[in-house]
A = this chain, B = another copy of it.
Amino acid sequence: MKLFVLTHNPSKLKEISEILKEYGIEVLHMEGEKREIQSDNIEEIALNAAKDACSSQSVPIVVDDTALYIETLNGFPGPYAEYVYRTIGLRGILKLLEKEENRKAWFATAVVYCDGNIVKIFKGILEGSIAEEIRGNYGFGFDPIFIPIGQKKTLAEMLPEEKNKISHRSKAFRELAQWLVSEKTKLNKSQS
């Protein structure tokens, strides 16, 4: 099975490819504009982007959106994590949390599949906390300051296969993969 993923982030594409490979799904890079609206709700952002991209495509496509919520900052940076990463960066987040005891945070990913007939949404959440300092070289984005719940390492200190067992993105994409595989099984049965 092949699936087009609309993203401008090569690290994300690689991560998604590795997760979906386990299900026999090959990820292809979809070129084109990812039109994102401003909203506090990542499901709404991903849904809009997918519908926009889907309207001009004849193949099944997938769009995802990820947010990082920090409890004591009223959810900041939320769905604007990518912009915040590009501007104030990891050091900006650490500065905002200086002398702060409540470091609770969570990642959320919304994945939208559409193929012209069906639009389906899948979601994954990873709870954790913001580290006191930047640690690790794997992953991307806020991984070097995010410690998953029950762990000591940041996401960036974990090997890709470790991260992909527990991450928000992998949870959402595994749900999508399981659904795709079950749909294919149903289709095969009806044709046999």
A: which residues have CB within 8 A of B? 35-38, 40, 45, 73-78, 80, 83-84, 86-88, 92, 95-96, 98
Contacts of A37 in B (CB 8 A): 35-38
Residues of B within 8 A of A36 (CB): 37-38
Q: Identify which of B45, B74, B87, B95 contacts A86 (C-beta below 8 A).
A: B74
Number of chain copies forming the complex: 2
User: In the complex, what's the smallest C-beta–C-beta distance from A33 to chain B, in angstroms?
Assistant: 10
Nearest B residue (CB) for A45: B38
Given A37-B37, A38-B36, residue A84 in contact with residue B76 (CB < 8 A): yes
**Chain B residues with CB below 8 A from A80, complex form:** 38, 80, 83
Chain B residues closer than 8 Å to A95, beta-carbon distance: 95-96, 98
| Among B38, B45, B75, contact of A87 (Cβ-Cβ < 8 Å) | B75
**For A45, what are the chain B residues with a Cβ–Cβ distance below 8 Å?**
38
- Asked if A92 contacts B78 (CB within 8 A), the reply is no
Bound complex: CA A95 to CA B83 (Å): 19
A-B contact pairs, 7 of them (CB 8 A): A37-B38, A38-B80, A74-B88, A75-B87, A76-B83, A88-B96, A95-B98
Top 8 A-B pairs, shortest CB-CB distance:
A76-B87, A36-B38, A74-B87, A76-B88, A80-B80, A73-B88, A38-B38, A37-B37
